[in-house]
Amino acid sequence: MQAYNFSGQAEDARKVPERRKFRREGEERRREQLVSAALDVIASEGADRATVRAIAERAGVTQGLIRHYFLSKDALTRTAYDTHMKRMNEVSFAASGAAEGADPAMRLAVFVVATLLPEALTDTAFGLWTGFVQRVRRDPEMAEIHAANYLAYRDALEALIAALPGPGGRARTTADLRARAIACNAVIDGLWLEGSACPQGFGKGELARIGPDAVGSLVY
């Protein structure tokens, strides 16, 4: 089967899907650029001031282009929040994945430390957290995004805890694993939040050293 271009030269019609794939990839990159611009504005100005105009100016595009990719500012904000949460989770997922095959206690430790390293305690990350957190309570769809990403992190944490021997060598119950994962997650979140909000209150790398010990005290 053949298709003809405007010059009349024959082309293999099988190349058409490749063109469509290239177009999809281009559109995905454009969406990613718009999401990154939205995150930049939200981090510096707050979610309420992240207007379509402000995001368009940051991205160097027209407001109409944003509306082409996102039905509304809220849709873009939700996508930006989901992207931010996944990126934060991926830091710990990648760290524990790189330690695959290591001692279970070491894998848990690197999972915790990844969230508390100085490079994770940034003004940008904290600005995004403060910019998004109020919307989570007001917007049911934002709440669903939050819950999905929170559970993804907690489930990964629970799996790492499950690989460790239980207190006294006893088998861990489902309820015990759940409770310990919730508690450990809360400790990690608290350390991250304080370290991001008040970095001058801690020594360099101090929270990354404290985190594994604090989590370890809850695991056994």
Q: Could you say which of 14, 44, 70 is where a domain stops?
A: 70
pLDDT at residue 3 greater than cutoff 50: no
Q: How confident is the model at residue 13 (pLDDT cuts 50, 70, 90)?
A: very low
Give the model's confidence band at 7: pLDDT under 50 very low, under 70 low, under 90 confident, else very high: very low
Could you tell me if 80 and 54 are in contact, meaning their C-beta atoms sit under 8 angstroms apart? no
- Whether residues 128 and 147 share a domain: the answer is yes
Whether residues 31 and 79 fall in one domain:
no
* Measured distance CA(180)–CA(164) in Å, rounded: 12
Are 103 and 115 in a shared domain?
yes
Is the CB of residue 125 less than 8 Å from the CB of residue 91? no
Q: How much is the pLDDT for 167?
A: 78
| Boundary-marking domain end, from 35, 70, 105 | 70
What pLDDT score does 26 carry? 77
Q: What are the pLDDT digits (tens) for 49-100?
A: 889 999 999 999 999 999 999 989 999 999 999 999 999 999 999 999 999 8
- For residues 54 and 102, membership in a common domain is answered with no
CA–CA separation, 215 and 195 (whole Å):
16
CATH of the domain at 8: 1.10.10.60
Q: What does the pLDDT average to over 136-162? A: 96
pLDDT at 182 over 70: yes
Domain holding 190, by residue range, is 72-220
Q: Residue 212's pLDDT band (boundaries 50, 70, 90)?
A: very high
Strand partners, 3: 11
Tell the residue number behind the tokens 């794939």, with chain if given. 21
Provide the whole-model pTM: 0.83
Shared domain for 188 and 216, answered yes or no, is: yes
Whether 142 and 65 map to the same domain: the answer is no
Cβ-contact 42, 132 below 8 angstroms: yes
Query: Residue 169: its pLDDT value, please?
Result: 76
* Span 93-147, pLDDT tens digits: 999 999 988 899 999 999 999 999 998 999 999 999 988 988 898 999 999 999 9
pLDDT of residue 28: 85
Of the residues 47, 70, 93, the one at which a domain ends = 70
Q: Total structural domains in the chain?
A: 2
Please list, in sequence order, all residues whose beta carbon lies within 8 angstroms of the beta carbon of residue 212, skipping any fewer than 6 positions away: 108, 109, 112, 113
CATH number at residue 183: 1.10.357.10
**In angstroms, rounded to a whole number, what is the distance separating the alpha carbons of residues 35 and 78?**
10
- Residue 149 pLDDT > 70: yes
| Residue 61 and residue 77 in one domain | no
Residue 17: band (very low, low, confident or very high) from pLDDT cuts 50, 70, 90 = very low
Question: Residue 4: enclosing H or E segment and its boundaries?
Answer: strand 2-4
